[in-house]
Chain A
């Protein structure tokens, strides 16, 4: 994950584009082991996913995010250009404050609500999309080829993992909007507009 420095309007999240002031990545790893019942009982031969994990090759799942260093640095040229002259009535084309922009960007990526991270948590804790939950439900008949059962489990868990990743990509309000999706003013990208106009 990297953010261009200084942030540019090309990558700004206002206007529907993403990436300049903050960025994120949800990595949904999974692995499982499968066995067949081998006890001579009535379920003998049935296949099941006996162990599921949220790691793959020892690497855990996780949600990662970064915030623009220029935005975090209160004295950067970019930060100084966020002069906070926005007023919904008198200056509707004005700019957001740097403090507000930083808080909103962090919230947009990582807060417990109205954020990419919140989207990730909602999806991965859903029984329908949690790879482990759906993987553990898979059962194979004794006549089913071992490889086919393994692909059934792998495909099902992969579908769930993809769904979590896709859910995390849904854009929450921001970074020019607060958590109630109320516009807070534009970010001032280079070439920086004067705040005295």
Chain B
């Protein structure tokens, strides 16, 4: 390799190493409901506490989440929080993430049982308990068949801008206002089974949740 080609190789590597390949603005994107919305569902999970140090039983996650540009309404009641996340592939393998806010787009036609991937993005109070979390999750849908998965090669990243919504039916939020907010990204494999009028979907989490914290600032 000549000196010139080596320098060129280094320059190109740095360009491709951290490259943004997608941007999703959910503050304006419309989400269309499915024509045949499942009427029931199920899921599960596991929490683990162990005396074994974390590094000995957890593997490094392929995706890295960064929460940025968190703005709250001036009155501080957190009814509206606008924020942005960056999702970066920090592994050496290709990763695909759900990338469509409309579940209608992953629904097969004519209707039949199907599978898809689901990502859940949500804001949390890192100091709050499970029952005091006030924000509705945002769902992103994707499937190979509908070509609604975003491919992230090693070093590639995407950004998502979103507005949180309060869980309007779960009002027991407590009085404490947090000075910090945490974004959490969780992915599920979903199987939709049964007949169209009684579709049941089963969510199976895969990978582990990834999180990032940031301090909110007043909305501009």
A contact residues vs B (CB 8 Å cutoff): 1, 18-19, 22-36, 38, 46, 53, 56-57, 116, 120, 127-129, 131, 133-134, 137-141, 144-169
Question: Is the CB of B207 closer than 8 A to any CB of chain A?
Answer: no
Question: Is the CB of B78 closer than 8 A to any CB of chain A?
Answer: no
Q: Give the chain B neighbours of A144 by CB distance below 8 A.
A: 136
Q: Give the chain B neighbours of A26 by CB distance below 8 A.
A: 47-50
Known contacts: A128-B130, A134-B130, A156-B130. The answer to whether A146 contacts B137 by CB under 8 A is no
- Give 6 CB contacts A-B under 8 Å: A24-B51, A56-B45, A56-B46, A145-B33, A148-B137, A167-B49
Q: A152 CB to closest chain B CB, in angstroms? A: 5
Return the chain B residue nearest A130 by Cβ: B130
Question: Does B186 contact A155, Cβ atoms closer than 8 Å?
Answer: yes
Q: Dominant SS at the B interface?
A: strand
| Residue from B47, B169, B201 in contact with A139 in the complex, judged by beta carbons closer than 8 Å | B169
B contact residues vs A (CB 8 Å cutoff): 31, 33-34, 37-53, 103, 118, 120, 122, 124, 129-133, 136-139, 141, 167-170, 172, 184, 186, 188, 190, 201, 203, 205, 209
Other than the given A32-B43, A145-B139, A159-B133, 6 more pairs (CB < 8 A) read A30-B44, A30-B47, A128-B129, A128-B131, A134-B131, A155-B122
Cα distance A164–B38 in the bound complex, in angstroms: 31
Q: B168 CB to closest chain A CB, in angstroms? A: 7
Cα distance A158–B129 in the bound complex, in angstroms: 11
Question: Does B130 contact A27, Cβ atoms closer than 8 Å?
Answer: no
